[in-house]
Structure 1
Amino acid sequence: MTVAAKIKYPNRYDIVGSFLRPEKLKRARDAYHAHQISRDALTQVENSEINRLVKKEVELGLTDVTSGEFRRSWWHLDFLDGLSGAHFFTPDHGFIFNGQETRRGGIKITNKIAYNPNHPFFDDFAYLNGVVPEGITAKQTIPSPSVLFPNKDAEIYDDYYKNDLNAFLEDEIKAYQQTVRHFYDIGCRYLQIDDTSWGMWASFSKGTINPDLKPLCEAAVKAINAIADNKPDDLVLTMHICRGNYDSNWAGAGAYDPVADYLAQLHIDGYFLEYDDERSGGFEPLKKIAENGRDQRIVLGLVTTKKPELESQSDLKRRIKLASQFAPLEDLCLSPQCGFASTEEGNHLTENEQWQKIKLVVDTAKQVWPH
């Protein structure tokens, strides 16, 4: 893999990560879980569909591509389950998304959190990196460390650290640092951490952060910066903030204002921020990131992945111009607001509608930033 020349990431037109699972892949996963096909047979289908996906991403003009998270069931639980000390379990209830109960899934921390040199995501990335064309960057996505913070509402339970946040953070940070280094050693140069915590913490606050959440915000900044400060200089590290994305539904609503001061402290290379509807509030918080003295890009997630209707290009340009009142246009980029399938269920649109959304992002960004 060779990183595309003269392209800074996040790119002016970028992607969050997940794509709708093709029907052939869904049928193969169902057959595997029904013990009708082998793990090798499922892997062959996954490989074939990832190859097809990469080809489509490149055809649409993307300079960084993902595997669509085609080997995952959940955007986060599959990764967390792969860490030593954390294990997937099936709770009594699913998550509540705007009144809708999701499929059930959770994590129990039963031992010391540690790096797993045999984490399955390493082989998954190696495969993706081996099939991307010359000049295209393979992008890897993993959940942010804050997603593993014990939280019964998120079905993350601590049966080991017994509320000792400092001991938990020490182990988690080390595990993430080693994991990131392993990704780098096998060729990863663009890593995105996906974070639902900031969006939910903002949802639970009014204007300023809820005092009860301050220790968690500070712990998240500590963990993310420890990872960012330890990474190789030529590894791009970005963060996507989400308020929930399941079956075209959402979990939280609230502007970024309560968490903006914390976000501005992060030592990452770029932010992917949801801005597809009024749930995300205004662009004013961008000013705090823009004025923090770091060379960071802000990716505006203006194109929704939750609905099939195509946005107006003129409206996208208008909103980008509005955002540029708070952060310089040269620091802004454009993307969908989230992935199209954070879980294997996927959102309510077709593959063709999904690709129309990606094409709109690419075409609009090329007009706004022609050079």
Structure 2
Amino acid sequence: MTTPPFKADHVGSFLRPQRLQEARAKFADGKLQAAELRTIEDECIREVVKKQESVGLKGITDGEFRRTFFHVDFLEKLDGVEVTYGEFKTHFRKDSGEEVGFAPPTMHVRDKLKHSMPIQGADYDFLKSVVTQTPKVSIPAPSMLHFRGGRQIISETAYPDLEDFYDDLTAAYREEIKDLADRGLRYLQLDDTNLAYLCDPAIRAETAKRGDDPDMLTHLYCRLVNDAIKDRPSDMVISVHLCRGNFKSAWVAQGGYEPVAEILFNEMAIDGFFLEYDDERSGDFAPLRHMPKGKTVVLGLMSSKSREVEPADLVKKRIDEASKFVDLDQCALSHQCGFSSTAHGNDLTEDDQWRKLERCVSVAHDVWGY
């Protein structure tokens, strides 16, 4: 397959090399200049690009090596957004039952939103210059600036009417996507944890308690994506990745896709869906019956949270199970999430990471000829 999503694909982030972590720590302490940090980032990105291509991947990212968080580093560059720390605590859990306490940054919209400068442009230019395969950029979905706090994190002075907020938000995304398209980007991914969180009965109940209808939010978030991408070039492929939380191998949400599937798959005007399917928390494959023809589902059957490499026969068996609900030709394979959605990384080694990706590519060759 020569166009994305590829039969063996990946979500985007990779474990940060030790020297990159040390450089970022020095930069945070004021002991390293920004230009020096960028030089080290460039070196590490060249290496992770080469490694991705050597294991056989065709969609290549920069590993998100210039970011601390998959979403904050992008959204805070929009005019009108302010980031606070320690405001809300999220309870992440590991499969072992261990709780991982974390107070992630919270975005507040204090003023009118505006896209005053390119956000990913320079980073994409560098990535494009060092790949031989297809460069891919991942950015947070528009809903990431709404769901975590809802109305209370959006200034009523700046936006007495939330429709004006939605209009400005999607306009900012259109400007960013146009800039990336003009630079040559043709494979874009939007990362959206919120639609997966809305699969969780407890989170749906909490959402309703604060005054938001979970189904109406699903419709809204599809509309925001559609408005954000409506001016994309006809040959730009756009996918969305749904995630139930990925921090130090821990998770937040659980529940199958049934509550959002019919709305999501049919209303969101994109080309591919990266879905978590690495364990029982993600439910069964039955919601895939709603997948329209012409769209790809990238089955996240392998785990980025654990060291163990999934047996090829087991992965193939689960692909076969999924194909009972959606055509095999519409399916592809990946891990359920990136290996390092935040700079902290998951509980595995770089060697584990690459062995797991080699297995992903190998299975894709066996199933689809890749």
Q: For this structure pair, what is the TM-score category when the shorter chain's length is used for normalisation?
A: over 0.9
Taking a change above 3 Å as real, the CA distance of residues 213 and 59 of structure 1, as seen in their structure-2 partners, is: same
RMSD in angstroms over aligned alpha carbons?
2.1
Counterpart of 1:282? 284
Q: Deviations over 1:115-143 (max 9, x none)?
A: 23242x2111111111112xx11100000
Q: Structure 2 regions of 5+ residues with no counterpart?
A: 94-98
CA shift, 1:150, in A, is: 4.9
What amino acid is the match of 1:258? P
Q: Deviations over 1:47-101 (max 9, x none)?
A: 0000000000010111111000000000001100011211222234442213422
What amino acid is the match of 1:325? K
What amino acid is the match of 2:64? E
Q: Structure 1 regions of 5+ residues with no counterpart?
A: 1-5
Counterpart of 2:217? 216
Counterpart of 1:318? 317
C-alpha distance in 2 between matches for 1:299 and 1:33: 37
Alignment partner of 1:106 is 2:106: yes
Alignment partner of 1:186 is 2:188: no
Counterpart of 1:22? 17
Greater Cα offset, 169-178 or 64-73: 169-178
Identity of aligned residues (%): 36
C-alpha distance in 2 between matches for 1:126 and 1:342: 22
* TM-score, normalising length: structure 2: 0.92
Counterpart of 2:65? 70
Counterpart of 1:308? 307
What amino acid is the match of 2:259? P
Aligned pairs (5 A) from 1:247-286 = 247-264=248-265, 265-286=267-288
Counterpart of 1:3? none
Counterpart of 2:166? 169
Number of residue pairs matched by the alignment: 359
Q: Deviations over 1:291-311 (max 9, x none)?
A: x3x411110000100010111
For the residue of structure 2 that corresponds to 1:285, the secondary structure is helix
Pairing partner for 1:199 from 196, 201, 221: 196
C-alpha distance in 1 between matches for 2:195 and 2:76: 22
Q: Deviations over 1:194-247 (max 9, x none)?
A: 000111111136999968222321211111122343211011000000000001
CA shift, 1:37, in A, is: 1.2
Greater Cα offset, 103-112 or 137-146: 103-112
C-alpha distance in 2 between matches for 1:350 and 1:202: 30
Greater Cα offset, 37-46 or 100-109: 100-109
* TM-score, normalising length: structure 1: 0.92
CA shift, 1:329, in A, is: 0.4
Q: Deviations over 1:248-286 (max 9, x none)?
A: 000100100000121122110000000000010000011
Q: Deviations over 1:7-51 (max 9, x none)?
A: 021000001000000000000001111111111111111000000
Pairing partner for 2:39 from 38, 44, 66: 44
Pairing partner for 2:4 from 4, 9, 20: 9
Counterpart of 1:159? 155
